[in-house]
A = this chain, B = another copy of it.
Amino acid sequence: MRLSRSFLPTLRETPKEAEIVSHRLMLRAGLIRQQSAGIYSWLPLGQKVLSNIQRIVREEQDRAGAVEILMPTLQSADLWRESGRYDDYGKEMLRIQDRQEREMLYGPTNEEMVTDIFRSYVRSYKELPLNLYHIQWKFRDELRPRFGVMRGREFLMKDAYSFDIDEASARRAYNRMFVAYLRTFDRLGVKAIPMRADSGPIGGDATHEFIVLASTGESAVFLDKAALDTPVPGDDIDFYGDLTPIVAAWTEKYAATEEMHDKAVFEALPEENRVEARGIEVGQVFYFGTKYSEPMGAKVTGPDGVEHAVHMGSYGIGVSRLVAAIIEASHDEAGIIWPESIAPYKVGLINLKVGDAATDLACDQLYERLTKAGIEVLYDDVEGRAGAKFATMDLIGLPWQLIVGPKGLERGEVELKQRATGDRESISVDAAVAKLLGSS
């Protein structure tokens, strides 16, 4: 993408209303714009990151056997009356009346609707296990929306729902999502640790939160250092095999949010293993048995010929929140440092002297070559001071900067800078291209 044809409105000033670093950087780097309290537009760079995150989330859900659907944002109040949550949910639920005065709501989550879909079609245990997920906008009418997309009102969530004939099978479904989450966050370039959690209004007796570690995180967390070194399963993981050992390797190590913290257990760890850190919740997995299937009549005939209410779980990832969480975990004084897997572009190509024929030609050729090789390049082809160009590239945090100016070109060289380390080297054009093509 040529900068001259794009729309990247960065801000020089730090917006006063932004209290946390990710919110400040998202505004400054032109990722989002607030439209109303807790409601944001995603500008081009933000939209690209959001879409890259969705791609990875989707790939890992599919790999784990979850099946994608797409439920609407608006739901009927009647469905929520069946589960008893319509009255329980309180003011965070945005209640709406349509022109026929039907009571509707903007879905804050989808347990009821997906249970309704399930009961409409599935009759036999032979069609199980089943896990349906979608990635859709949700709304929670927070009293005090703040911290940008970290605690917005309209937010993008991936939510999956598993249906099984009995608890044992439901626990396997839970484990598949648990492992899928380990892999998802790992691919997103963040360290996310599953921690025992409180089940809250969704209910259920088994639940873990996945917490991204970031020094600026919202809550204190306590963990066994060994959790940090537990390996994440690779691409070759068999989701239909026994995942218990993998899950156990994580859950056996102490890791808890402040809410669930057990001081005695933590202090029984060897001192050098006690890690106190801060974190941000980016996902949660629940097993809640027949809490919804029982009142809503989601039953299947079992091998015994008898009807059973299905055992369910739900599994959420805060997709829009993740953009902020990743920035909290990966930034410096100068700006964002995107993990390569979700960066809006891999390379920022900086033309230091727009209008100089040789520099323009070299840049155009590099842009063409890299783009043709399938590398996403943001090409700064706009007139401007070198200092401002560098500052903008650092701010928006693309993994690589390729800096091209007349002086270097006289020696046949360009400069390649890695954003994360700050390492710079002057190398030949071909060597730069080879390095960019070679890096993961």
A contact residues vs B (CB 8 Å cutoff): 5-7, 9, 30, 33, 35-37, 39-44, 46-48, 50, 65, 67-76, 79, 91-92, 94, 96, 98-100, 102, 104, 106, 113, 116-117, 120-122, 127, 130, 132, 134, 137, 139, 141, 143, 153-154
A70 to chain B, nearest CB (A): 4
Chain B residues positioned under 8 Å from A113 (CB to CB) = 35, 41
Chain B, residue nearest A154 (CB): B72
On whether A39 and B74 interact (CB within 8 A), knowing A6-B67, A96-B96, A99-B91, the answer reads yes
A440 to chain B, nearest CB (A): 21
Contact across chains for B91 and A36 when beta carbons are under 8 A apart: no
Residue from the list B9, B74, B121 in contact with A154, Cβ < 8 A: B74
Give CA–CA (A71, B47) in the complex, Å.
10
A195 to chain B, nearest CB (A): 30
Chain B, residue nearest A142 (CB): B99
Chain B residues positioned under 8 Å from A41 (CB to CB) = 69-72, 113, 117
Residue from the list B36, B72, B106, B120 in contact with A40, Cβ < 8 A: B72
Chain B residues positioned under 8 Å from A139 (CB to CB) = 74
Chain B, residue nearest A2 (CB): B65
Contact across chains for B50 and A70 when beta carbons are under 8 A apart: yes
Contact across chains for A75 and B42 when beta carbons are under 8 A apart: no
Chain B residues positioned under 8 Å from A154 (CB to CB) = 72-74
Give CA–CA (A121, B68) in the complex, Å.
37
Residue from the list B33, B46, B98 in contact with A94, Cβ < 8 A: B98
Contact across chains for B43 and A69 when beta carbons are under 8 A apart: yes
Give CA–CA (A154, B75) in the complex, Å.
11
Chain B residues positioned under 8 Å from A35 (CB to CB) = 71-72, 75-76, 79, 113, 116
Contact across chains for B98 and A33 when beta carbons are under 8 A apart: no
Chain B residues positioned under 8 Å from A134 (CB to CB) = 47
Further pairs besides A40-B72, A41-B113, A44-B67: 19, Cβ < 8 Å: A5-B65, A7-B130, A35-B75, A35-B79, A36-B75, A39-B72, A41-B117, A42-B71, A43-B69, A44-B69, A46-B70, A47-B69, A48-B68, A72-B154, A74-B106, A74-B154, A94-B98, A96-B106, A99-B141
Chain B residues positioned under 8 Å from A6 (CB to CB) = 67
On whether A120 and B33 interact (CB within 8 A), knowing A65-B5, A96-B94, A132-B7, the answer reads yes
**Which residue, A106, A113, A116, has most C-beta atoms of chain B within 10 A?**
A106
A427 to chain B, nearest CB (A): 31
Give CA–CA (A23, B322) in the complex, Å.
37
Give CA–CA (A102, B143) in the complex, Å.
12
**Can you report 22 residue pairs joining A to B where beta carbons are below 8 Å apart?**
A5-B67, A7-B69, A7-B121, A7-B132, A9-B121, A30-B121, A35-B72, A35-B76, A35-B113, A36-B102, A37-B100, A39-B72, A41-B69, A41-B70, A41-B71, A41-B117, A44-B68, A46-B70, A50-B70, A73-B137, A94-B99, A96-B106
